[in-house]
Structure 1
Amino acid sequence: MAQLKEISCTGRVIGCYLSRDRKPSLEKIATDRLEITLDGVVGDCHAGRTRASDSRTLKQYPRNIDIFNSRQFSIASVEELAEVATRMEIPEVKPEWIGANLLVRDIPHFTLLPPASRLMFSSGATVIVDLENHPCKYPADVIERHHPGKGLAFPKVAMKKRGVVAYTEKSGAIAVGDTIRIFVPTQEAWP
């Protein structure tokens, strides 16, 4: 029996983004296409097979321990970002502002995709969903610069709507307009 099953919807890539340096800001810049390897997005500041442990992993490791990088990509949904913008009472939340590498559409409940789901792009490039990308203060700071008085609401209103983090399973190109096949685990939920 297969451990993954393809679901009956097809997603689409509507934006690709990268940033070579995270120090000035979390914001990324738009590009037509990303090249991905087993190290993540070529040229992006989050690329690498490993990363330093941080506040998200303090229950497992002290800070700055070298660990596997399951956060090579941040992927957001246009439908969910529109919901977040409505809740924040602003015209839009741009994917660049929240550090997304990819903006996708037509995948219902995108942020709730189970861990180990696969997103397979037109070229065959494939990423594995690790976890929900929990909202935090860094995108809130960027949104605050664009919409003063509104950014601080982001961490609360974007829960279960910010998208997912993922890592590469198969190298290749991802371009605006690509279709996405979605495979989810067949394993039952843990009781």
Structure 2
Amino acid sequence: MLDADRSEHGFVMNLTRVWAHQPDVHRAYVALVTSAADAAGLSVRDRGVLVTALASTMGDAYCSLAWGGRLAAEVGEATAVAVLAGSDEGLDDREQALAAWARAVARDPSGTTAQDVDRLRAVGLSDAEVVAATVYVAARLAFSSVNDALGARPDAGLRASAPPGVVAAITWGRPIEPDEPAERS
């Protein structure tokens, strides 16, 4: 896991240091979110909307930064910042419905309504896709919860790769590392 991070990012991510203690559990998590995303027909852009919306709602700076940066690459900095702020300006109807669903599940899963699900159906999701998208959101919430609970700080390398507006919008959660840490194994 550490070597894969070095190869892909040029550094070992703090969340990888957490999950490296349980690589089999991490592999199972990756299989779950990949399967759920595929079953829901989620594009990278859709996943960016979902994760950015849920992470900002739950106050997870790490995933807000990582996925806010990815979302900015897909939709532009201003729209990514809007999703982080909860306004969703710049998203189409489908993406707005996905963002609203992710926030509702993150905020109060027991408080979702039939109208919330109907909004997803109205933008083209089948019942099977709604279930799969919900599994995706719930699994991402669990992932964020583990990272946050075990103290994983957003990496300085993520700050360096994210647009300035995305970085500035994230005022919650654990602070971003002040600079790139010395390499640890």
**TM-score, with normalisation over the residues of structure 2?**
0.26
Larger proportion of helix: 2
Larger proportion of strand: 1
**TM-score, with normalisation over the residues of structure 1?**
0.26
